[in-house]
Structure 1
Amino acid sequence: MTLTCEPDGLGGLPIEKFHQVLIAEGATEFDRPGSTCPMNQLPLYKHPTMLFPGHPHSHRRCKAGDFFVAEHAHAHAIKLPLWHREQDLELAAQYSRAARKISDHHKEVL
């Protein structure tokens, strides 16, 4: 599950700080995407000639900003495991309460 944190809606609270406070609240399974990224940031799309030197379109390269919506979503994402068992409901509710608490008190965090 991925949540979006918009700093403008939280008085300018940076997502990194939001994430740190979540961890401090004990919601340690919140995570910032590190193993994933928008496709245009992968080597295949940044430097396609390395993998496909003879391909007729290997001269096309993607750069930062080409897919601004995906890049924005990635930059403002916080991930959670996908809880799916009935016994996970209370844990999911605790994590939801922690995120809501920080959102409600974001001015104190700034």
Structure 2
Amino acid sequence: MDATRAEIARHLTERFSLVPGLDVTPVPDGVVPSWYGLTLTYRPNKLGGLPIERFHQALLAEGAVEFDRPGSTRPLHELPLYQHPDLLFPGRPHHHRKYQPGAFPVAEHAYQHTIKLPAWHREQDLALAERYIRAAVKVSEHHKELL
């Protein structure tokens, strides 16, 4: 199963690297990823400034419903615990730092530009992976219609 997952991830990585507007997160030499998911970085400047939300909606409209804008990659300082810690720690409302938008620009940028796919792992999943690639290619090629 791990070999098939790695093969499908390799195939997806290779194919998505050719889709304008999407960058594949590189895997450094010597690293063997576990492939929980495949993250892609959306580059709106390559698609006329098309917002990621619109790009994502178009992918979903193509039936590629497993393209995800993962909440799990949200920067921690944006979570309610860090924005309103007094709700969890009511006796200490003034003993926390209030994080403002822009406090962690690299993490915020990564979150705002990430699209994720599952790392499929069965041989028959390769056909499904191909459909997702075709959907991304179609949306990328027709991005001007979405502006």
| 1:44-74 Cα deviation digits (max 9, x unpaired) | 33344554556xxx43332211111111111
* Separation of aligned partners in 2, 1:24 and 1:48: 39
Identical pairs, percent: 65
The answer to whether residue 109 in structure 2 is matched with residue 43 in structure 1 is no
Match of 2:55 in 1: 18
Choose which of 70, 82, 85 in structure 2 pairs with 1:33: 70
Alignment of 1:1-110 (within 5 A): 1-34=38-71, 36-48=73-85, 50-51=87-88, 58-110=95-147
Query: Which stretch has the larger CA shift, 14-23 or 76-85?
Result: 76-85
Gaps (5+ residues) in structure 2?
Answer: 1-37
Kindly report the root-mean-square deviation, in angstroms, between the aligned alpha carbons of the 2 structures.
2.4
3-state SS in 2 of match to 1:22:
helix
* Separation of aligned partners in 2, 1:42 and 1:71: 12
* TM score, norm. by length of structure 2: 0.62
* Separation of aligned partners in 2, 1:69 and 1:101: 29
* TM score, norm. by length of structure 1: 0.79
| Aligned-pair CA distance for 1:3 | 1.7
* Separation of aligned partners in 1, 2:54 and 2:83: 30
Query: Which stretch has the larger CA shift, 26-35 or 73-82?
Result: 26-35
| Aligned-pair CA distance for 1:33 | 2.4
| 1:54-104 Cα deviation digits (max 9, x unpaired) | 6xxx43332211111111111122222221222211211211121122112
Q: What number of residue pairs does the alignment pair up? A: 109
3-state SS in 2 of match to 1:80:
strand
